[in-house]
Amino acid sequence: MLSSKSKIWTQVKEKLDKRGECDSFLTLVCQNHGTISEVSTSDDFLQKVPEGGCQLPCDAELKCTHKCEKICHIKDSSHEEYHCKSPCLKKCMNDHPCRMLCYINCPPCNVRIIKELPCKHEKLMPCYQNVEYIECMIEVLKKLSCGHEHDMACYKDPMEFKCSAEVEKELRCGHRRIMKCHEDPDLVNCKVIVTKKLIPCGHEQETECRFSPDMVTCLTRVNVVIENCGHEVRSFLKE
């Protein structure tokens, strides 16, 4: 075909014919396996040398030690772009096999195992997790800064724990009250009923201890003279 359209190829064909080196097909030698293929049509190329090599499996050993599963190929002969789809052969530090395909980067190992925490308790957790960052939730009895003991999660600091034990404490006013250990008695409003001398009227009246005498409304009835008529009536001062 080429010789019919080109003087150069005509001359080439004539020389090859004289030497008996011209035929109706091409003889191709696979660079990888040395396999010989004779091709004369486009279909021959597709069937006999589909990837530029031959029809045998590539079977080259990869960096991962698996074998290339593609048919013999010329392009990417170093397999830099090849994705190995065999099971990964790598293992984690605890000897668990990776569950991904070979070409995928190994993710953190999620196999659940029992590990010992810094507190000496044991916990079932993913293999990859560092025990130094795990909060131990096991309930233990610890002594608080107040001297009481309380059940709490192992990881919690007893010095920062709010003690809920009920104790009797003295308030600012001198009265005593049952309250939670962590509560500040100086911040508690005393509701004990006491008798106070009110200001400015001077009457005595029962009220909650927390109220100042000048804040309490006097409920004592007194004689009051009505300005308009001069009559005297019994009434509260606030009236």
pLDDT in tens, 78-108: 999 999 999 999 999 999 999 999 999 999 9
At 195 the three-state DSSP class reads strand
Residue 34 and residue 51 in one domain: yes
At 77 the three-state DSSP class reads coil
Beta strands in the chain (DSSP E): 26-29, 36-39, 52-57, 71-73, 112-116, 122-126, 139-143, 149-153, 166-170, 176-180, 193-197, 204-208, 221-225, 232-236
Residue 123 and residue 163 in one domain: no
2: number of Cβ within 10 Å: 10
Alpha-helical runs (H) found in the chain: 7-19, 42-48
Average pLDDT over the chain, rounded to an integer: 87
| pLDDT tens-digit map of 170-190 | 999 999 999 999 999 999 999
| pLDDT tens-digit map of 203-214 | 888 999 999 988
Residue 157 and residue 110 in one domain: no
Residue 11 and residue 49 in one domain: yes
Rounded CA-CA distance 213/194 in Å is 11
Give the structural domain span for 149: 143-188
What pLDDT, on the 0 to 100 scale, is given for residue 112? 96
Domain end, chosen from 112, 134, 156, is at 134
Whether 108 is in a domain gets the answer: yes
pLDDT > 90: what percent of the chain?
62
| pLDDT tens-digit map of 34-72 | 899 888 788 888 889 998 889 999 999 999 999 999 999
Residue 184 and residue 197 in one domain: no
Residue 21 and residue 59 in one domain: yes
Alpha-helical runs (H) found in 20-144: 42-48
Residue 32 and residue 21 in one domain: yes
At 226 the three-state DSSP class reads coil
* CB 177, CB 171: distance < 8 Å: yes
Residue 108 and residue 55 in one domain: no
Residue of higher predicted confidence among 44 and 226: 44
Whether 165 is in a domain gets the answer: yes
pTM of the entire predicted model: 0.54
Query: What's the one-letter identity of residue 43?
Result: D
Residue 103 and residue 120 in one domain: yes
Where residue 239 falls among pLDDT bands split at 50, 70, 90? very low
Q: Under 8 Å CB-to-CB from 93, ≥6 apart: which residues?
A: none
The answer, yes or no, to whether residue 229 has pLDDT greater than 90, is no
Q: What is the DSSP letter of 47?
A: H
Whether 82 is in a domain gets the answer: no
Whether 79 is in a domain gets the answer: no
Q: Total structural domains in the chain?
A: 4
Whether 81 is in a domain gets the answer: no
Residue 179 and residue 236 in one domain: no
Where residue 218 falls among pLDDT bands split at 50, 70, 90? confident
Whether 168 is in a domain gets the answer: yes
Whether 1 is in a domain gets the answer: no
Residue 105 and residue 161 in one domain: no
Whether 2 is in a domain gets the answer: no
Residue 177 and residue 197 in one domain: no
Where residue 122 falls among pLDDT bands split at 50, 70, 90? very high
Greatest Cα pair distance, the chain, in angstroms, is 157
